[in-house]
Amino acid sequence: MAHTYVAYIDESGDDGLDNPFRQVGNAGGSSKWLIISACLFRQTHTLDAVKWRDEISAKMPERQSRTLHFAKLHHGQKLAAVQTIAGKPLRALSVVAAKEPIPENIYTEKNQLYFYMTRYLIERLSWLCRDHRPQAREGDGRVAITFSRRGGMQYDEFRAYLERLKADESGEVRIHWPVIDIDAVSAADHSKSASLQLADAIASAMAAGFEPDRYGNCEPRYAETLKPITYNRNRNYLSYGVKIVPPHDQCNMDQQQLKMLEIWK
């Protein structure tokens, strides 16, 4: 039986902790934030996602390609993109890691921070699929997860990581396993998947509110525009559709970033 849901995952920023963090006015260095986001919708909308991406592209006839790279758009185009996405039958989820407060020698293995943060994202994906199953009766109730392919990551290793989490009996792993199809976790190229391009827009929109640009400015409007489709329970966003690690009061946020936080409180 077909999956009920599909989820597409992309990130903004990097998981590097060893390099100097990027400073205002300097394009070099590691990002201060890592944002990993998911775009989830019913499997029956898979073909519609191409139309959603093309609807965004049609608003920008000056662009030479249908492929959507949020970072390459100017401000007006970015707003148009998230306004379009916010009107579609999908849900957005993001996990946000502030990297500067992370103590040294915590994440020492390759992809360790990325795996750890993605675990939180998959927890929330599993809750969302479980909670909405009564309204989505088609399929087997499970979600097929596709990552935007990233260099240096082996997805068989990530599937093995999920298997270890599934076997954990400590009670600390809160993934609702009946809806997660580990065997269906895969990766695809951003340029070949309209759905991954939507996930990229969501991740980049969230990142714009936390990661300062080269002039030191953050832009919360993109993420705020996505609020209507962001996963929440009883208007609780910060435990569900937006997970910040470490807790926000330990993230050394400036006034701009605190405005971003206010959107989700």
Cβ distance 162 to 155 under 8 Å? no
**pLDDT > 90? residue 3:** yes
3-state helix, strand, coil in the chain (%, to 5): 45, 15, 40
Q: What is the pLDDT of residues 135-160, one digit of tens each?
A: 998 999 999 999 999 988 899 999 99
Instruction: Give 222-239 pLDDT, tens digit per residue.
Output: 999 999 999 999 999 999
Residue pLDDT, tens place only, 46-67: 999 999 999 999 999 888 888 9
Q: What is the pLDDT of residue 26?
A: 77
Detail the DSSP E strand segments found in the chain. Answer: 5-12, 33-42, 91-98, 143-148, 186-188, 242-245
The tens digit of pLDDT for each residue in 159-183 reads: 999 999 999 999 999 999 999 999 9
115, 106 Cβ separation under 8 angstroms? no
pLDDT range class, residue 1, cuts 50, 70, 90: low
* Dihedral angle, C-alpha 132, 159, 44, 90, nearest 10 °: 50
**Separation of alpha carbons 110 and 131, rounded Å:** 34
Separation of alpha carbons 11 and 196, rounded Å: 10
Please determine, for residue 35, whether its predicted confidence score (pLDDT) is greater than 90. Answer: yes
Residues ≥6 apart with Cβ < 8 Å to 83: 225
Find the helix or strand (DSSP H, E) in which 240 lies. Answer: none
> 260 pLDDT exceeds 80?
yes
